Copies of this chain bind each other. A is one copy, B any other.
Amino acid sequence: MRKIGISEIEDIALGAALLGAGGGGDPYVGKLVAIGAVKECGPVTLLSPEEVPDDALIIPIAMMGAPTVLAEKAIGGTEYRTLYDTVSGFFGKPVYAFMPMEAGGVNSMLPIAAAARLGLPLVDVDGMGRAFPELQMVTFTIGGGSATPMALVDEKGNASIFRTITNKWTEELARAVTMACGGSVSVSLYPMEGAFMKKYGVHGIVTRSQRLGSAIRKVKEASASTPEEVFLNITEGFKLFKGKIGDVLREVRGGFNFGKVLLEGIGECKGRQAYVEFQNENLSATVDGRILATTPDLICLVDTETFYPVPTDALKYGKRVMVVGLPCFPLWRTEEGLKLVGPRYFGIDTDYIPLEERQKGGKADV
C-alpha cells in the first residue's frame, strides 16, 4: 500500500503512454483529469493485488469513444459516483476498489481520478499490460470473465447498464449509447471479485508505468553511457529500427484508426527501409521485408531525442523515431491469448514468434 500524488501521476502517465504501444489516448488530457481530482480530493491509495480480499468487488474504470471528443467534452467529475452507484446497486454490494483496464495515456489516468473522487483505493493491476483496440482483448476473457454487466455513464448524469449474450453485443450496444451521449463516456466493465483479479490480472502495472515514466524523464541525465542505451536498459526493450518518417497512411474504418507508417533509416540504419502497421495500437514492425515484431508484443515508437513515446495519432512526416519492441505479458503468448490478440486475429498473415526469438534470428542484420 502506498500513496499516489501529483508527481507519481506525471510519471505514470508518461510510462503508460509508452506501454500504450501507439494507442491508449493522449497522456496530457488523461493527466489533467487525474491531477485535477487529486488536487481537489487528495492522493490515492494504491493497493497491491494481494492486499485485496478474495470476495471484494473490484471494477475497472475506462473511457469509451473517441479520445479527440474527450479532449473537448471533458469529464464532469460526477461520472465516477454515478458509476459507483450503478454498479454497487446492481450487485447489491459496495465497490471495494477501482482498477485500470489497460495501460495508456488516458485509461491509466481515469481510474486514479475515480479513486480520488470516491475516496476508494486503486489496485495495481490491469487486464492488458498494454493497450488493445477491442473490449474483449483482456486477460479476463481468457479466464472466462464477461464484459457485462457493463455500466456506462455520461457527464450529464445519464447511466446505463448492459448484460449481453456476447462481448460483441456489448460492443454494439455500448457503442450505440456512446454515440447517443455525444461520442465519449465513462464505463465500467468486467466487474470482478478479488480472487479472479489476482488470478488473471497483469500485476504491478501502475508501478511499472511509474518506474518507466520516471526513468524516461531521467534518460538524458545519465552519464555512464549513451541515452539510447540507458533507455533500452530501463525498458528492457529491443531496438528494432531507427528512422525518419517518410509517409503515414491512415484510414478510419469501423470506429478504428487503421494505418501504416513508412520509415527511412537514419544513423546505423541508414539506407534501410521499415514500416509499422497499426489499428489504434501498433501491430507489426517490418524491416527490409522481414517481420521483427508482431502483436501481442509491444511495438513502441519513441522520439530519438527525448525518448518520449509517439502515439499513432502524432505520427508526422519528417519526425525521427526509434522503434522499440517490449515483450508482452506471458498470458498473451498462450494459445488462448494468441486467439484473442495474435497477429492472425488482426489479419497479419504470420505465426506469432516471440520478439526475443525474432531478434536472435536477425540481430546480425539490424
Contacts and interface: CB of A to CB of B under 8 A. Distances in A.
A345 interface: no
Interface in A157-193: 157-165, 169, 172-173, 175-177, 179-181
A92 interface: yes
Contacts of A181: 173
Nearest to A172: B180
B180 A176 contact: yes
Nearest to A180: B176
A138 B179 CA distance: 28
Q: In this complex, which of A156, A161, A162 has the most chain B Cβ atoms within 10 angstroms of its Cβ?
A: A161
Contact of A164 (B89, B159, B163, B172): B159
A173 B158 contact: yes
Given A90-B89, A90-B90, A173 B160 contact: yes
B173 A177 contact: yes
A21 to B, nearest CB: 30
A146 interface: no
Q: How large is the interface on A (under 10, 10 to 19, 20 to 34, 35 or more residues)?
A: 20 to 34
A176 B174 CA distance: 10
Contact of A173 (B172, B175, B180): B180
A324 to B, nearest CB: 39
A282 interface: no
A164 B162 CA distance: 14
A280 interface: no
A86 interface: yes
A159 B157 contact: no
A237 to B, nearest CB: 41
Contact of A163 (B159, B162, B175): B159
Nearest to A163: B159
Nearest to A175: B180
Interface in A40-99: 86, 89-90, 92
Interface string A148-161: 00000000111111
A160 B180 CA distance: 15
A157 B166 CA distance: 10
Contacts of A177: 160, 173, 176-177
Contacts of A175: 180
Contacts of A156: 165, 169
Interface string A338-366: 00000000000000000000000000000
Given A89-B90, A90-B90, A163-B86, A169 B158 contact: yes
A164 B86 CA distance: 12
A227 to B, nearest CB: 50
A87 to B, nearest CB: 12
A180 B171 CA distance: 10
Nearest to A178: B176
A159 B156 CA distance: 23
A25 to B, nearest CB: 23
Contacts of A161: 160-161
Interface of A: 86, 89-90, 92, 156-165, 169, 172-173, 175-177, 179-181
10 A-B pairs with the lowest CB-CB distances in the bound complex, closest first: A176-B180, A176-B176, A158-B164, A157-B165, A159-B163, A161-B161, A160-B162, A158-B169, A172-B180, A173-B180
Given A160-B160, A176-B177, 7 more contacts: A89-B90, A157-B165, A158-B164, A160-B177, A172-B180, A176-B176, A176-B180
